[in-house]
Amino acid sequence: MNYNAPLTQMKFLLRDVFEAERVWASMPATQDVSSDVVDAILEEGAKITREVLAPINRSGDEEGVHWSKEGVTTPKGFKEAWKTYAEGGWIGLGGEPAYGGQGMPKMLTVLFEEMLYASNCSFALYSVLTSGAALAINAHGSEQLKQTYLPKMYSGEWSGAMCLTEPHAGTDLGIIRTRAIDNKDGTYSITGTKIFITGGEQDLTKNIIHLVLAKLPDAPAGPKGISLFLVPKVIVKADGSLGARNKVSCGSTEHKMGIHASATCVMNFDGATGYLVGEINKGLAAMFTMMNYERLSIGLQGLGCSEMSYQNAVAYAQERLQSRAATGAVNPQKEADPIIVHGDVRRMLLTMRAYIDGSRAFSLYTGMQLDLAKFHPDAALRKKAEDLVALLTPVAKAFISDKGFDSCVLGQQVYGGHGYIRDNGQEQLLRDARIAQIYEGTNGVQAQDLVKRKVIANNGAFVTLFLNDVRASLSSATHTEASVIAALSGAIRLLEQATDRLLKAAGTDPDYAGIVSVDYLHLFGLVTFGWLWLQVADKAVALRDNMASAKTTVDSAFLDAQLVTAHFYFERLLPLADSHAHSIQSATSSLMTLSARHFSR
């Protein structure tokens, strides 16, 4: 598999659609970020993912990780790749400059993370978990913890892992059993078993910094009694050097459907030494600080896999000769035409592309709001961005990963039987993308978060905030056909009606939100993608009509392709909004009446 980061589309979105330079110039923390710097980083990112990470993706899947009592070994080539990767400074790309991070905006790191996942999901996870753990330490850790751990994590000498799930507690973290005892010397003793710990053990780094959720003996029941602890695999001495092994061990690794080269560990903490991060009993809130970043990142996993699948599918469709075009042979000298001439193959490819490019725009937009929320000098603008991030994060995580998976299914389908064969790589992308719909809160849980905490809890205020921006775009889209405006306006109305219904039912029917949540999230995602495609299409026409004077890196053929894809989205994919809206409106809670045992055969 040859992965080539879609730099043209990335730069077009950054520069032309979202005018990132203006955003960066408006904030002191990002004032020094220029398009030149960003371009150079993107080019380097494209290079390392193409040359170092993509080549060990298939082999990593076949070999998987190896567990023994001594530890976990990653597949051939991963150790060397990690060294190159860490030396490139990629892990600290968005990290805090005061501790050795590069402080780059999220608008850039989302693009690089997409490349990471596209080229090698399993490898990406070791890096992303380290950045994520560093983010939590930076946000909630003491100055000493930050000075001790962040520089070595940003440099990739040490890695990070998140230890939340237990055998009996996944979604419901309130019932975890891992216990923390205060040693009264500034440390805690952590005891318990955590499962599904990505990168819990590996041979890439000399130390692994676990962030562990645990309960103190006198903690309140439920989510309000959870604290967060930093538990290093190897104790770090006062001078920063490594000391004794901590009482942390990996009991086994899981055999999974995909991400075979990512070590998914059972972790045993047997009175391990830990350090409190943030305040006692506020561990879940501390974890949630990073959730908006991590959940967006998992959306990017779905996006990355589907971009790789798309690139493979296009190449295959251009090469594979089978049957003739409906309008007559285009390849009469050969025994058949390339399958890209067939309408249904194009339907599959454009469906993938419409979701992929839409997802990229969505992740950039969400990244921009994360940057504004963090860096903007204007408090009102920060607040608005925070609200939008809160609203959009579950949509970004679930909708992008759902459409990413669906796109991987299509990318495999384009290959026919050859897509079912492991060698061709398409089936791995589907298996690797599948987990993005499940972990970091299942997509069902994302939908619950959306309808309950982000819509009902504020009586629809965030939705109104968002739709005001969407409507403003409709008015300013002066280059766009009336039919597109009408299609999007119709879908917006469906979303408003669904929101009204949700809010009305909230007081009277406690089950309603839960039973329509996934339909609502998908309706929301479709409208959001419509809004993003409107902006892309409007900008594409504006540039194309003015190519001579336009300051852009793209050519008119690229813009035409964007426009064809945009129209395809409005004609063929946005209509899905109809059925989600219909389903939301016609849903009754009758399904709650069936007794649990009558689901059985």
Site for a second copy in 151-180 (CB under 8 A): 165, 168-172, 175
If binding is defined by CB under 8 A, does position 588 make contact with a second copy?
A: yes
Strand partners, 234: 245
Q: Which of 9, 30, 148, 480 binds a second copy (CB under 8 A)?
A: 9
Closer to a second copy at the Cβ: 285 or 587? 587
481 is an interface residue for a second copy by CB under 8 A:
no
Cα 456 from chain centroid (whole Å)? 24
Query: Whole-number minimum distance, CB 276 to a second copy, in Å?
Result: 25
CB of 285 to a second copy, least distance (A): 18
Residues 8 and 402: their CA atoms lie apart, in Å, by 25
Cβ 340 to a second copy shortest distance, Å? 5
330 C-beta neighbours (distance < 10 Å), count: 12
**503 binds a second copy per the rule CB under 8 A:** no
CB of 66 to a second copy, least distance (A): 16
Q: How far is the CB of 481 from a second copy (least distance, A)?
A: 12
Site for a second copy in 285-324 (CB under 8 A): 311, 314-315, 317-318, 321-323
φ, ψ of residue 588 to 5 degrees: the values are -120, 165
- Tell whether residue 568 is a contact of a second copy (CB under 8 A): yes
Within residues 395-414, the interface with a second copy by CB under 8 A covers 405, 409, 412-413
Scan residues 204-263 and list those touching a second copy (CB under 8 A): 254-258
Nearer to a second copy, 149 or 415 (CB): 415
Query: Which part of the chain contacts a second copy (CB under 8 A), choosing from 134-142, 202-210, 468-476, 554-562?
Result: 554-562
Q: Phi, psi (5° rounding) for residue 400? A: -65, -40
Supply the residues annotated as catalytic. Answer: 440
DSSP state of 26: T
| Cβ count near 332 (within 10 Å) | 9
**One residue of 80, 423, 469, 545 binding a second copy per CB under 8 A:** 423
In the complex with a second copy, the residue whose CB is nearer, 242 or 456, is 456
Give the interface segment with a second copy, choosing from 65-73, 108-116, 373-381, 417-425 (CB under 8 A). Answer: 417-425
Site for a second copy in 366-385 (CB under 8 A): none
The DSSP secondary structure of 110-133, one letter per residue, reads: HHHHHHHHHH-HHHHHHHHHHHHH
Among 217, 332, 417, 507, contact with a second copy (rule: CB under 8 A): 417
Residue 350 sits in the site that holds a second copy (CB under 8 A): yes
Distance CA 207, CA 209 (A): 7
Alpha helices in 343-417 (DSSP H): 343-375, 379-414
Among 162, 348, 541, 543, binds a second copy (CB under 8 A): 348
DSSP category for residue 91:
T
Compute how many residues bind a second copy; rule: CB under 8 A.
Answer: 112
Binder to a second copy among 229, 439, 524, 531 (CB under 8 A)? 439
Say how far residue 339 (Cα) sits from the centre of its chain: 32
Query: Of the ranges 26-34, 119-127, 366-374, 438-446, which one interacts with a second copy (CB under 8 A)?
Result: 438-446
The token duo for 2 is 């040859």
Distance CA 20, CA 540 (A): 16
All residues at 6 or more sequence positions from 566 whose CB lies less than 8 Å from its CB, including other chains:
354, 484, 533, 534, 536, 537, 540
Contact 217, 205 (CB under 8 A): no
- Angle at CA of residue 476, ends 29 and 299, nearest 5°: 50
DSSP secondary structure, 160-210, as one string: EEEE--BTTBSS-GGG---EEEE-SSS-EEEEEEEEEEETSS-SSSSEEEE
Nearer to a second copy, 380 or 482 (CB): 482
Q: Which stretch binds a second copy (CB under 8 A): 203-211, 267-275, 333-341, 461-469?
A: 333-341
Nearer to a second copy, 357 or 387 (CB): 357
What is the closest distance, in whole angstroms, from the C-beta atom of residue 572 to a second copy in the complex? 5
- CA nearest neighbour of 201 among 249, 150, 153: 249
| DSSP classification of residue 592 | G
Cα dihedral across residues 465, 17, 556, 50: positive or negative = negative
Nearer to a second copy, 117 or 512 (CB): 512
Retrieve residue 122's tokens.
Answer: 């399993």
Q: Per CB under 8 A, does 438 bind a second copy? A: yes
Q: For residue 250, what is the enclosing H or E element?
A: strand 248-253
Residue found by looking up tokens 């994302």 in the block: 446
**Nearer residue to a second copy within complex by CB, 38 or 340:** 340
CA distance 292 to 455: 16
Of the candidates 43, 80, 481, 560, which one interacts with a second copy according to CB under 8 A? 560
Q: How near is the Cβ of 46 to a second copy at its closest, in Å?
A: 11
Give the residue, chosen from 515, 534, 540, 554, that forms a contact with a second copy under the rule CB under 8 A: 515
Residue 577 in the binding site for a second copy (CB under 8 A): yes
> At what angle are helices 343-375 and 379-414 packed, to 10 degrees?
160
Using CB under 8 A, which of 282, 342, 471, 479 touches a second copy?
342
Three-state SS at 600:
coil
| CA-wise closest residue to 388 among 399, 411, 372, 407 | 372
Which lies closer to a second copy via its Cβ, residue 489 or residue 588? Answer: 588
For a second copy, which is the closer residue by CB, 240 or 416?
416
Partners of 208 in the beta sheet? 159
Q: Which of 35, 193, 497, 589 binds a second copy (CB under 8 A)?
A: 589
* Per-residue x/- track, 252-291, a second copy (CB under 8 A): --xxxxx---------------------------------
**C-beta of 445: minimal distance to a second copy in Å?**
9
> Given the DSSP bridges, would you call strands 71-73 and 264-277 parallel, antiparallel or unpaired?
unpaired
- With binding defined as CB under 8 A, does residue 599 bind a second copy? yes
What count of Cα atoms within 13 Å lies in the side-chain half-sphere of residue 434? 13
What is the x/- site pattern for a second copy, positions 92-131, by CB under 8 A? ----------------------------------------
Please tell me the distance from the alpha carbon of residue 516 to that of residue 76, in angstroms, as a whole number: 46
Q: Does 443 bind a second copy (CB under 8 A)?
A: yes
